[in-house]
Amino acid sequence: MSQINPYASNLGKDDPLKVLSATPRKIEQLIEDLGSERMDQPSAPGKWSPREIVCHLADTELAFAFRLRQTLAEGDHVIQPFDQEKWAANYAAYDAREALTLFCAIRNWNLALLRFTSEEQRSKTVTHPERGAMTFWIIVETLAGHDLNHLTQLQVIARNFAPAH
């Protein structure tokens, strides 16, 4: 069985709510740093471009919004995994700014929910078919670690494509 939170090392001891709150502005800054001409340049063959990473973050936020609400609303909920590569097959349809707008709207909605949850809700259990039993709060920590993983990718791309001085 794989690790319950595959992004735990990204998050470390950071407060997931602080990470989740800071991510939208960081993505916005990275989009500005990259500029529209570099948004479709992947870091290497077979890797996602910055635009595709932002689209993936928007899709993930959408999926996790549902997971969080289903976990709170249902007993013995089983999370529905998704194949990110199959979702990514449609990313040519989306603009990075549109993806960021969607991401920010859903992230703000999710943060409102997360700030309102009680300790009892945060400890509510759910099952992930590939990772096993976890709590609501582990889902939150996973999302924050996922943010940090992709922010690092965007930062590396921005640094590698930085104009020479």
CATH number at residue 101: 1.20.120.450
Which is it for the CA torsion 43, 90, 106, 84, positive or negative? Answer: negative
Q: Would you say residue 165 lies in a domain?
A: no
Looking at the structure of the chain, the number of domains it has is 1
Quick one: pLDDT at residue 5?
85
CA dihedral 43, 65, 85, 58 (to 10 degrees): -40
- Model pTM score: 0.93
Is 43 within the bounds of a domain? no
Q: Which domain, by its residues, includes 137?
A: 8-35+48-84+92-160
Looking at residue 72, its pLDDT comes to: 96
| 1: in domain | no
- 40 lies in some domain: no
Residue 162 pLDDT: 60
Print pLDDT tens along the chain (165 aa): 347 888 988 999 999 999 999 999 999 999 999 988 889 988 888 899 999 999 999 999 999 999 999 999 999 999 999 999 999 999 999 999 999 999 999 999 999 999 999 999 999 999 999 898 999 999 999 999 999 999 999 999 988 876 544
